A and B are shown apart, each in its own frame.
Chain A
């Protein structure tokens, strides 16, 4: 009997664990180590953040689902990886620290034959003074929608602003809280949902709503922007995004590295080197992401964290980490199998793998401060990679170490993305987009780097319906309800 441990029960890890268990059956063991007791459909946190959904709408308990699937669930966080075992045993193992199941604080070692790291991001609030509380958590001056609890808190604060806006002017600032953030899409959704709700509440006229982000142009989204077919034209996402911001009266400040947050004020540096301040009554700023801080040790107990992980804490896989200049970047730099180059029984999936480099063009301010979005790894790629990695591990277990590994390069896969711009069965809108491939391939598609036959976008009610249906579909799938394998990632 072989044992697969999946660290992280989010989008990617849950997909990997549930498919692996289905394919391996009861002959082999699948263990999920994750600190959360509930699974969260993170994209719908946006709607929790504007009071259009409750926390209960976007989460469900993991324990019954894993029990039904026959998965050994440990509500714990992984702390360290020991890929060579220890002095008296060659068996690789991880150490974990329980966060629930009545064992909070207890530690344990679990051996593995295969390991998938799907621990997602650490929300690195403390990277910006004042954005965090100094202990790794969200600070007191801004709100976040990155977790369901954050989103509930954001909604409470927002409601107070709406109340005040009935009688006085209020200023809302939404965007990224550092020069190296990703996930602009979430902030984009939040700002337009706020704008939509403000109109419904009749307080839009008293609200100044402003965007601040590290993108060098609006619509970059960490993917270097995209070109899509709209109305017979091939259009840059810059025009598409600017149009929406202008239509909804949302001015923007871009190329901004927020370097300090205080009560009611952010300090920033722009790409041109100038600095400034922006005041706010309510701000939602996405934090930069980092790896979750797993450590690694060799057989002798020496720290080999730098061998398994990139400096940003994400796990090294089969990507090109040579650090070559932008002009030499290629689609083939991106990983295909997500196998660690040093330890072949370790894989990383979803946000946990270290990208070889940015997707957007690297930018630094004239003062040398890097200000550019880092690569997004959205739900669809995270799910597809999780499934491909699970497939590889199952084949390795069943067919032996020479089994063919499954591939899921972000330079060869597309992504469908629906960004909400306001919720409502008849007055909601969302930007429905597809992009193919996620990472541009300028050798294959000279010009835009992508296949414009499969890269498109449009805003409308249909997009909102799709977003709403996806919410129910993905929660249905994650609960492993009948037919769950038929729903694509």
Chain B
């Protein structure tokens, strides 16, 4: 069984949701990809902050 599929079997509640694949999880801590996301998130947050002041 793929590692990300193990938790589905642990409960009905877990079984009915989505669990990220190994690739999606890897991206979460991939420094190059996260540097790019850092820029994107900052821009999105600045837009919301500027709309709120």
Contacts and interface: CB of A to CB of B under 8 A. Distances in A.
Query: Are A and B part of the same complex?
Result: yes
Nearest to B6: A249
Contact of A462 (B13, B34, B53): B34
Given A460-B27, A462-B37, A434 B11 contact: no
A247 B7 contact: yes
Contacts of B25: 247
Interface residues of A, number: 35
A243 B53 contact: no
A456 interface: yes
Contact of A434 (B7, B8, B19, B48): B48
B45 to A, nearest CB: 4
Interface stretch (A76-84, A90-98, A425-433): A425-433
Contacts of A426: 29, 31
Given A432-B41, A462-B41, A488-B53, A246 B48 contact: no
B21 to A, nearest CB: 10
Interface residues on chain B, size class = 20 to 34
B44 interface: yes
Contacts of A463: 41
Interface in A428-444: 429, 432, 434-436
Contacts of A414: 48-49, 51-52
B47 interface: yes
A239 B47 CA distance: 25
A217 to B, nearest CB: 11
Contact of B52 (A413, A458, A462): A413
Contacts, number: 94
A434 B49 CA distance: 9
A454 interface: yes
A459 B7 CA distance: 19
A127 to B, nearest CB: 28
Contacts of B10: 246, 249, 251
B20 A247 contact: yes
A466 interface: yes
A256 interface: no
Interface string B1-33: 000100110110110111110000101111100
Contacts of A461: 28-31, 34
A140 to B, nearest CB: 32
A429 B28 contact: yes
Nearest to B10: A249
A148 B6 CA distance: 37
A409 to B, nearest CB: 10
A466 B31 contact: no
Nearest to B39: A462
Contacts of B47: 454
A467 B36 CA distance: 16
Contacts of A245: 14, 17
B17 A462 contact: no
Nearest to A470: B45
Contacts of A427: 29
Interface of A: 239, 242-243, 245-247, 249, 251-252, 380, 384, 412-416, 426-427, 429, 432, 434-436, 454, 456, 458-463, 465-466, 488-489
18 contacts: A245-B17, A246-B14, A247-B20, A413-B52, A414-B48, A429-B28, A432-B45, A434-B48, A436-B48, A436-B51, A454-B44, A454-B51, A460-B28, A461-B29, A462-B34, A466-B45, A488-B53, A489-B53
Given A246-B10, A488-B53, 15 more contacts: A239-B18, A246-B7, A247-B4, A251-B11, A413-B51, A427-B29, A434-B48, A436-B51, A454-B47, A454-B51, A461-B31, A462-B35, A465-B38, A466-B41, A489-B53
Interchain residue pairs A-B with the least CB separation, the first 5:
A413-B52, A462-B38, A242-B17, A246-B14, A414-B48
